[in-house]
Amino acid sequence: MDCFVPLARGHRNDGAGLFRQPRETAEISTFSSPLAGRRVARMNGVGNKILVIDLRGAAFLPTPGELRAIHRAEGLDFDQLMALSDPRDPASAAFVRIYNNDGSEAGACGNGTRCVADRLARTGAEAVTIETKAGLIACERLGARVWRVDMGAPRLAWDEIPLAREVADTRKVDLALGGVADFGPASVVNMGNPHAIFWVGDVAAIPLESVGPRFETHPLFPQKANISFAQVLARDAIAVRVWERGVGVTLGCGSAACATLVAAARLGLTGREARIGLPGGELTIEWREGDGHVLMTGPVEFEREILLDAALFEAAARK
């Protein structure tokens, strides 16, 4: 059952279920965020920390400062925040914008998309279509909280990823950097976001916290990139760790899992379907041969619902 947790530190319950600020500490606010008093759903997809906020009917979107303020608040840290707006296409339930915790906007988030589908389908719907900048995304329920998402076709040309210059083969790109260990060539893929995947013998041995940000901002990536280190375990199994642009080390990244499977299949390391093991759990990824679309199947977990307290935005505005 979904539960609601008010975020109201220092407040007391007046006995009627309402939370009020004690009179002795009340202050007149000089700043007001339209997000104050709204609820967010805290969820995760294979450990990928997701917040979902429904802003349909509203005439505003979160600002980068508001997003950073939410991320800094106790119990509200996130990898991605999924903001639902009114649909533009009548075939969709909502237009979804995807934000990283540094306030930047992302192009895709597979785990977040499954979380959005789960929230929109609380009435029992078995399928949901949502809309993003990348277009319409079809989501299908396969279990109580298991969803399959059509992530669309990967983009593989150098200028679609995009790269700063032309390369001969996007399956094997030299990303050597001075002062950083040489992990060999990387495969580059766009799955709504730019991704670079290094193939290594032991993902656990990679110092992701130090090398991730260096490769994320490599001069070859004008829009930065998500950086993955992948270890092929079998023809149908890959272990992956991800440094996510605008986020950092993450327990799970759905678009990185999709990009990794595509890159592995292009190199002949796996078939067109494999289990992708991330630190937070496992996803099944299929690169469908018929239309070239990538299908991602995995679980979602609802944790709680939280009320956004005006105080967290006021504190951020004073900084």
Instruction: Give per-residue pLDDT as tens, 80-97.
Output: 999 999 999 999 999 999
274, part of any domain: yes
Q: Does 139 participate in catalysis according to the annotation?
A: no
Domain check: are 224 and 95 in the same one? no
Structure tokens at 80: 């991605």
Inform me whether the pLDDT recorded for 19 exceeds 90: no
Domain check: are 9 and 94 in the same one? yes
CA distance 236 to 248: 27
User: How much is the average pLDDT of 54-81?
Assistant: 94
Domain check: are 145 and 29 in the same one? yes
Domain check: are 193 and 288 in the same one? yes
Inform me whether the pLDDT recorded for 259 exceeds 50: yes
190: CATH: 3.10.310.10
Domain check: are 138 and 230 in the same one? no
- What is the per-residue pLDDT for 251? 95
CA dihedral (188, 194, 199, 204) in degrees, to 10, reads 180
Domain check: are 20 and 122 in the same one? yes
228, part of any domain: yes
173, part of any domain: no
CA distance 216 to 196: 9
pTM of the predicted model as reported, rounded to 2 decimal places: 0.85
Q: What is the pLDDT of residues 260-308, one digit of tens each?
A: 999 999 999 999 999 999 999 999 999 999 999 999 999 999 999 999 9
164, part of any domain: no
157, part of any domain: no
What is the extent of the structural domain holding 100? 4-150+301-317
Q: Does 3 participate in catalysis according to the annotation?
A: no
Percentage of the chain lying above the pLDDT 70 cut: 89
User: How much is the average pLDDT of 75-82?
Assistant: 95
Inform me whether the pLDDT recorded for 51 exceeds 60: yes
- What is the per-residue pLDDT for 31? 60
Domain check: are 22 and 138 in the same one? yes
Domain check: are 60 and 197 in the same one? no
90, part of any domain: yes
Domain check: are 69 and 202 in the same one? no
Q: What is the pLDDT of residues 151-202, one digit of tens each?
A: 999 999 999 999 999 999 999 999 999 889 899 999 999 999 999 999 999 9
Catalytic residue among 115, 139, 253, 258: 253
Number of domains in the chain: 2
- Torsion sign, CA atoms 27, 31, 34, 35: negative
Q: What is the pLDDT of residues 111-140, one digit of tens each?
A: 999 999 999 999 889 999 999 988 899 999
Domain check: are 311 and 199 in the same one? no
93, part of any domain: yes
Strand partners, 244: 248
- What is the per-residue pLDDT for 5? 45
Domain check: are 235 and 306 in the same one? no
Inform me whether the pLDDT recorded for 18 exceeds 50: no
Catalytic residue among 109, 115, 139, 258: 109
Domain check: are 247 and 310 in the same one? no
Confidence of residue 317 (pLDDT cuts 50, 70, 90): low
155, part of any domain: no
